[in-house]
Amino acid sequence: MQLQDILFSQGFGTRRVCAGLVQQGWVSVYQPDSPEPAQCLDASMDFAVEGLRLRVQGVDWPYHAKAYLMLHKPAGTECSQKPSAHPSVYTLLPAPLRQRPAKGALSGVQAVGRLDQDTTGLLLLSDDGQFIHRMSSPKKHVPKVYQVTTKHPVDAQQIKRLLAGVVLDDDPKPVLAAACVQQDACRIDLTLTEGKYHQVKRMIAAVGNRVEALHRSRIGDLELPEDLAPGQWRWLNVDELALLT
């Protein structure tokens, strides 16, 4: 693949812009077994993309045909590209990830589902539409674990009701938790396999309690790493991606 096309596919701008980056000396390519990249001034030069690593404007960038990311969402952010009252989680990502070309109307990576502005924890992002659908569709029943801190102590009857199913205002069909594990008097780990609007908060309210803090710790078999601080993101590696398939 030509270098300008590689850069375009990674979100570095139009093909003309990408060719300009190369011609201005802003792009270097890592060679096998070389600790430092070599500058390339020919935008039409062909490279094998498998395992390709670039340095663009001083930043190392591994080639990915599709983007699969995890982000530790901090409180006070919205999972929207057009936020209403708080900063967008997309501002935590570098520009190329927000500009990756796509066939649809939206470009760049998209959040796999959404978390409320005050909810923290594991958020997946991708530009793979099939992956997004598979992970977010209620028909796929992908389990998601939430650490819930409540205002009042959680009793056995409330846990029983969460597991049996509670009726939310807009849906006559009971919504139930796949699992509910009590960690202490006011904290439970709640596992859900579908995602409705404010679902955890509404379920807790339905059993007579209130959510004070909410944190998503796991999606499928993928847990939020302890070393990924709020606001940080990284690429999913092969093993982590396998936990979601």
- How far is the C-alpha of 216 from the C-alpha of 169, rounded, in Å? 24
Cβ contacts of 90 within 8 Å, gap of 6 or more = 81, 98, 108
Q: Which of 33, 46, 116, 118 is catalytic?
A: 116
Alpha-carbon distance values, 24 to 17, 34, 47 (Å)? 10, 23, 19
Residue 142 contacts residue 119 (beta carbons within 8 Å): no
Burial grade of 19 (CB within 10 A; 0-12, 13-18, 19 or more): buried
Alpha-carbon distance values, 160 to 50, 165, 173, 174, 185 (Å)? 51, 9, 17, 13, 15
Burial grade of 53 (CB within 10 A; 0-12, 13-18, 19 or more): middle
Q: Is there a catalytic annotation at residue 116?
A: yes
Residues catalogued as catalytic: 116
